[in-house]
Amino acid sequence: MGNFYEELKKLLPAYASCLCTVRTDYALAVDVSNWGAYAMTAALSFMWGSWRGPEAGEELAMLEAMKELGAVDGISRLPDITVDGFDIILQDRIISSLNELWRLYSFDRGPSSS
């Protein structure tokens, strides 16, 4: 988020010392990093011609396995089936929406050779 450092510092002065200052060629501003990763997998799915994101139920299985190993939510710090305070229903909705967009607008082209 270094690309947005100056703007974020003005919006959140109390957090200025915690903000990332490293700039990148491309920045994807998202509320939850998982959502950004899923958006990237959707974009790659369009490039490669096949869905590369998680399938139905995989997010729940991953969160349950992480909880079993002692992981906690990044916001609540509780061992819940949540991601940054958002429940599994919303996680699944994000994943399903991206998958639906891919299915509606993709073409079966296969991997790009360029």
For residue range 41-64, what is the model confidence (pLDDT) as tens digits?
999 999 999 999 999 899 999 999
Contact (Cβ atoms closer than 8 angstroms) between residue 8 and residue 1: yes
Mean pLDDT, range 90-106, rounded to an integer: 93
On whether both 14 and 70 belong to a single domain, the answer is no
Domain count, the chain: 2
Provide the pLDDT for residue 113: 44
The CA distance from 1 to 24, in Å, is: 8
Contact (Cβ atoms closer than 8 angstroms) between residue 24 and residue 30: no
Burial of 38 per CB tally in 10 Å (0-12, 13-18, 19+): buried
On whether both 38 and 25 belong to a single domain, the answer is no
Whether pLDDT at 97 is above 90: yes
What's the whole-number average pLDDT of the chain?
90
pLDDT band at 28 (very low <50, low <70, confident <90, very high): confident
